[in-house]
Structure 1
């Protein structure tokens, strides 16, 4: 997939299909909503993203949050000219997920020319907060 073609008008089906052979697909992440400054998705609990006791792994949870925020930044810049690099992820886990799926909502809270900062809340299917995560993405000029 040529990621430089991504934009807010790219169909979700295309984005999800394009991610299948990456870490995103391997963890089971799917995007369900994109808008300017907002990305929502889900992460179904599986053996691929859980601890040995069946609870969602904290690292998978952070990867989920960084994925949502990363796509959000990618949709806000001209990817032919700029690249998006995750530079900092910091999360507070407030609960566990032992069944079902995690639902994530990433909202931009700072949209600068060189950095984007996102807040990502991850909840269970009943709406209970599992994690709140802050993601900083750096926007850099491509050297292609």
Structure 2
């Protein structure tokens, strides 16, 4: 599959999920990275009108787990989030945030993924590490 086909496949798999609800859109994929964007609207705000940290984590985990699933044979195994660690570094009220996930370590039974979420001015909003467990598909 080429990059466009991969992006389309995972966007289609996201229909009727939290990913679609938050309007997360996959934008680029490569050998060891995946990128997406998410609009910052009241739908993803906390009560004070700021981007909810949980929404940032949804974007981060979406990127990290999808990237791991791109890297493995999904007919035999699936990647699922096991541990997420996020640092919320800057507030955001509106506009768009852009997430970029890269592989730190690709092991046989787990992957460590780094995700940076930035604003339109390339300022870091959230920095996240995600550990994914790689499990047999018959466990799902």
| TM-score calculated relative to the size of structure 2 | 0.92
**Among 57, 62, 66, which residue is 2:61 paired with?**
66
User: Do the aligned residues in 1 keep the contact of 2:41 with 2:93 (CA within 8 Å)?
Assistant: no
CA distance in 2, matches of 1:17, 1:47: 25
Give SS of 2:42's match: coil
Kept in 1, the 8 Å contact 2:65–2:81? The answer is yes
* Structure 2 segments unaligned to the other structure (5+ residues): none
TM-score, length-scaled by structure 1: 0.89
Deviation of residue 35 (structure 1)?
1.3
Answer 1 or 2: which has greater helix percent.
2
* In the alignment, structure 1 residue 93 sits paired with structure 2 residue 88: yes
Q: Supply the distance in 2 between the matched residues of 1:122 and 1:57 (Cα, whole angstroms).
A: 13
> Aligned-pair distance for 1:7?
8.4
Computed over aligned residues only, the root mean square deviation of the Cα atoms, in angstroms, reads 1.8
1:28 to 15, 18, 23: 23
Q: Could you give the per-residue CA deviations for residues 77-132 of structure 1, whole angstroms, max 9, x where no partner exists?
A: 01010011100000111101111011111000000000000110101111000010
Alignment length (residue pairs) = 139
Aligned counterparts of 1:133 and 1:107: Cα–Cα separation in 2 = 11
Structure 1 portions without partners, runs of 5+: 1-5
Following superposition, the deviation at residue 37 of structure 1 comes to: 1.4
Q: Is the 8 A contact 1:8 1:36 kept in 2?
A: no
Please report how far the alpha carbon of residue 68 of structure 1 lies from its aligned counterpart in structure 2 after TM superposition. Answer: 0.3
Whether the aligned pair in 2 keeps the contact of 1:36 and 1:72 (CA below 8 Å) is no
Q: Distance in 2 between matches of 1:95 and 1:89?
A: 18
